[in-house]
Amino acid sequence: MSPEIVSALLMGGLLLLLALGVEIGVAMAVAASIGLVFAVDKPLVQMAWTAWESLNSFTLLAMPLFIFMGAVFSGSGAVNVLFAALDKWLGWLPGGLASVVIAANGVFGAISGSSVAAAATFSMIAYPEMEKRGYDPKLSIGAIAVGGTLSVLVPPSLILIVYGSWENVSVARLFAAALIPGMVLMLLLMLTVIVMVKLKPELAPRSQPASWGERINAIKDMLPWLAVILLVMGSIFGGLMTPTEASALGAILALCIAWYYNTLSYAMVRNALLSAVKVTAMIAFIIFAARLLSFVLQDLGATAKVSSAVLDLGIGKYGTMLAIVILYLILGMFFDSMAMMLLTLSFVMPVILKLGYDPVWWGVTFVLLAEIGLVTPPFGLNLFTIHGVLPKFSVMFIARSSLPFLAVMILMVWILIFFPGLAMWLPQRLY
């Protein structure tokens, strides 16, 4: 059989396994193993070589440490303090609590980096308060669902760490490139809340502004955790530490701050460690399986042929980017962001580079596209996370509530495509 037919059969088998409910990492590993033995005639020891090559990475060591830092942050009860503090500063805005949720997710992302954790946490903390104050459920749920996606973009981001390791791109540059787009997206989402409430005042009641004394006390409450964020990110952007070294610093500081808040306990540390181990093991297996499948497809010549076919379509730079955006919007409905990235990078990166875009820029742009997939049915992770915490709302209701914010996120993708300097300005100045 020709390499094209073999590649098509392997991808078809992968899709069949996924349709049967097989986990994405296992499905990729099975398809890659069959291709390795029967299609490219390589020894099984190639699996060990691939595992070592893809996972023996100093960069990837940052992943479990940042996960641990975020888990300690969540377990310490600091999220409640964060939410209350931002309410003092932003609660007076139209739809104030919805804006507070979005801003709090931006800060939470600077410590956690997990969208699912953010969606679950703010479903438990923010929604009851918004319901008590008379907010429309659509505004409340939409803000929680889409606000949680900011935790993926705002550094430290787990996806950017894996992307940097996979493509051999500086994670520090990726973090710097994500910072300004993350802040701009956060402001655009907050502006969307204000416009929605101005057009339909019944969506949210107007809150009285807090006094300046209350605002200053709120900052004092959050100052230790804000200091952790500034120290960790500052040490990376200042060139004092690598992201991996900074993640170790952040993990130690997180434990110190939890002790300061008098919430440090054996159970909390154990749960944080288990969370870090489970998530890291899951991601590591997906990385290994994706790298093995990528090796098989590259050996068959499939990745080069697909990339060439896309470039030969003759639809221009922005037409090609439109096709890539549509592809990821569709894939985001069925795949989680990590698997989607690792499955497609081998095909997409040659196209991106040929179009003249920087791989650092693409890392940030992909994360934005992956964020959209988190809140699009039928398999958006944030939709199911919120439904699990608040079962009275259906997955489709949560998805419909997110639509106004999704439009803003798609707009942000195109802003980055037309103005790549928005992402590249800070890393170019720092490095």
- Dump pLDDT digits (tens) for 229-267: 889 889 988 888 989 999 999 899 889 888 888 888 888
- Dist CA 48 CA 38 (whole Å): 18
Counting residues of the chain whose pLDDT is more than 70, the rounded percentage is 99
Q: How far is CA 358 from each of CA 162, 167, 279, 318, rounded to the nearest angstrom?
A: 17, 12, 29, 15
Given a cut of 80, is residue 336 above it in pLDDT? no
Of all residues in the chain, the percent with pLDDT exceeding 90 is: 16
pLDDT digits (tens, 9 = 90+) for 343-355: 888 888 888 988 8
Which comes out higher in pLDDT, residue 58 or 185?
185
- Tokens standing for residue 51: 């595992």
Mean pLDDT for the stretch of residues 21-37: 85
CA angle (225, 229, 234) in 5-degree steps: 145
Most confident of 228-232, 298-302, 417-421: 417-421
Q: What is the pLDDT of the chain when averaged over all its residues?
A: 85
The per-residue DSSP string of 45-90 comes to HHHHHHHHHHH--TGGGHHHHHHHHHHHHHHTTHHHHHHHHHHHHH
Biggest CA–CA distance in the chain, Å, is: 75
- Give the amino acid at 113: G
Q: Are 149 and 386 in contact (CB under 8 A)?
A: no
Is the CB of residue 25 less than 8 Å from the CB of residue 280? no
Tell me which H or E stretch contains 119.
helix 115-132
User: Where do we find the tokens 């990745």?
Assistant: 303
Report domain extents, the chain. Answer: 3-430
At residue 67, does pLDDT exceed 80?
yes
**What is the per-residue pLDDT for 239?**
85
Note the pLDDT of residue 51.
83
Separation of alpha carbons 317 and 73, rounded Å: 43
Give the pLDDT confidence of 121-148 residue by residue, as tens digits.
888 888 888 888 889 999 999 998 888 7
Tell me: pLDDT of 1 over 70.
no
Section 416-422 average pLDDT: 92
Q: What does the alpha-carbon distance between residue 390 and residue 386 come to, in Å, rounded to a whole number? A: 6
Angle at 396 between CA 18 and CA 94, to 5 degrees: 130
Q: Answer yes or no: are the C-beta atoms of 194 and 94 closer than 8 Å.
A: yes
- Closest by alpha carbon to 379, among 330, 344, 323? 330
User: Which residues, 6+ apart, have CB-to-CB distance to 309 below 8 Å?
Assistant: none
Q: Taken in order 121, 126, 128, 131, is the CA torsion positive or negative?
A: negative
User: Looking at residues 375-403, what average pLDDT do you find?
Assistant: 84
DSSP one-letter string for 229-273? HHHHHHHHHTTSS-HHHHHHHHHHHHHHHHHHTT---HHHHHHHH
- The 10s digit of each residue's pLDDT in 86-124 is 888 887 888 888 888 898 888 877 776 667 777 888 888
Q: What is the DSSP string of 186-233?
A: HHHHHHHHHHHHHH-GGGSPPPPPPPHHHHHHHHHHHHHHHHHHHHHH
pLDDT band at 178 (very low <50, low <70, confident <90, very high): very high
Q: How far apart are CA 292 and CA 36, in angstroms?
A: 8
pLDDT digits (tens, 9 = 90+) for 317-335: 889 899 888 888 888 877 7
